[in-house]
Amino acid sequence: MTSRDGYSWTEQTGLRPGVPSIGVITPVTNVVSSNVLYDVVVIGAGYCGLTAARDASLSGLNVLLLEARDRIGGRSWSSNIGGYPFEMGGTWVHWGQPHVWREVSRYQMQNELKNSFDFSYGVNHFQLNTAGGSSTMSHDEEDSLLASALEKFVNVDGASGRNIMPQPANMFYVPEARDLDSLSAQDRIDAIASSLSPSERAVLEGFVLLCSGGTLKGMSFLEFLHWWAICGYTYQGCLDYLITYKFSGGQSSFAINFFREALFTKRLSYAFNSPIQSVNDMGNKVEVTTRDGRTYQAARIICTVPLNVLSTVSFNPPLPDGKLAAIGVGHVNQCVKVHAEVSDKNMRSWTGVTYPSNKLIYAIGDGTTPAGNTHIVAFGSHQYHMQPEEKLDETFAAVKALAPGKMDVQRLVFHNWSKDEFAKGAWFFSPPNLLADHLEDMRARHGNVFFASSDWALLWRSFIDGAIEEGARAAMAVKTELAETGKISPQL
């Protein structure tokens, strides 16, 4: 099936909207009657909503899953082109990500990981294109350079962040961490600038922009420190957790299991192409209305709409001030992710940073396609932003600038997350102060409406893992509450 989402380009076809994905669900709905009071309506079929719908239906609740798009997966989905998966959004996983891996092992997918890196091909180096010129170095030298730069960046406590954030699932366990959240990445770089070599500074800025998809001034230093902590407080950990292991069949091959298991209970109703207009909490039940005027009622709602999109849904009674303030601030990630298939097989072992000023900053050889071409994945951020489908010449130029003379582009594949009305950006990344001021506000329920999203997860916030964490939290809360009110089988 082909999703409306995403773009692809080849010389033969030109630029085309929509790419094939196994995450597209048909029929688009299995709802037969509109006159049903559900136990819970789950808004959104990303990993968070899929988990919530699955866990709730497994525990005996009647569930309606509503999704604006034509597919599952939200900000993590893959396009399978000629048998080869291109990850349009969230990609990498690791066995140390608890909520992801619990599902990987439960669905027996432990042997379906492949490594994005393969350093056995000819162009086996790291290329740094920066203001001072272009240079290449071995991947070991790349690792040393990045590790050195990042260690200086995070070392606010003489212990590489371990003292200030010893329990990353409890981010403000050390109260001083809250004060640190006023710093931007730029503030921290300014404070350590004299200790950084020009190369260290270039790769450091490139790497933190890769993580945030934002700008140096707009991104929270503390949120980066949180990433660092969950990655085990080392650069090697960042590599292992953030950018190494992906599913051989693509993310949609993982997500589909959640949907199928929920459907298997026979307690899951669903409707795709169903963006939400409003949520009206009447106290004894809640009514949701889609943009095309359909209404559904349930005892509880689990709303997984991302922070940057929540303002498009009308809530009655209105959301409380703290949540509105968080929505008003929003998150800063406007990552640009572009896949390029290039004809040079040997680029498989290449990695590179081109910074500043190029619109794609960080890229790696990510695979070999069925045609024998190298699959390059490249990332830009809000710092030097572009809309990749708008000016294709600019997009080609940005790809080619990563490794001049070596990027003979055969195919492009991408999803423009900034112009996606149901995402308004990529994975959550906090600006300064948002987490210190409003993490609990974002996590709070509002009457019969539970809010669940990776955007406010506690551990792997912003990641697929955090989405599953949050979906499980919401389903557990709804199940427990409905059981206590006598809806489902009660007490010890």
Residues that bind a second copy (CB under 8 A): 58-60, 95-102, 105-106, 108, 110-111, 113, 115, 166-170, 173, 230, 232, 234, 237, 240, 245, 260, 263-267, 458-459, 469, 472-473, 476, 483, 489-492
Q: Is 67 one of the annotated binding-site residues?
A: yes
Closer residue to a second copy, CB minimum distance, 225 or 426: 225
Q: Closest separation between CB of residue 86 and a second copy, Å?
A: 23
Q: Closest separation between CB of residue 189 and a second copy, Å?
A: 26
Q: Closest separation between CB of residue 37 and a second copy, Å?
A: 20
Closer residue to a second copy, CB minimum distance, 317 or 490: 490
Closer residue to a second copy, CB minimum distance, 97 or 274: 97
Closer residue to a second copy, CB minimum distance, 194 or 491: 491
Q: Closest separation between CB of residue 219 and a second copy, Å?
A: 23
Pull the structure tokens for residue 83.
């048998």
Q: Closest separation between CB of residue 169 and a second copy, Å?
A: 5
Q: Closest separation between CB of residue 96 and a second copy, Å?
A: 4
Closer residue to a second copy, CB minimum distance, 115 or 387: 115
Closer residue to a second copy, CB minimum distance, 98 or 356: 98
Closer residue to a second copy, CB minimum distance, 187 or 240: 240
Q: Closest separation between CB of residue 238 and a second copy, Å?
A: 12
Give binding residues for substrate as ranges: 379
Give binding residues as ranges: 67-68, 379
Give binding residues for FAD as ranges: 67-68
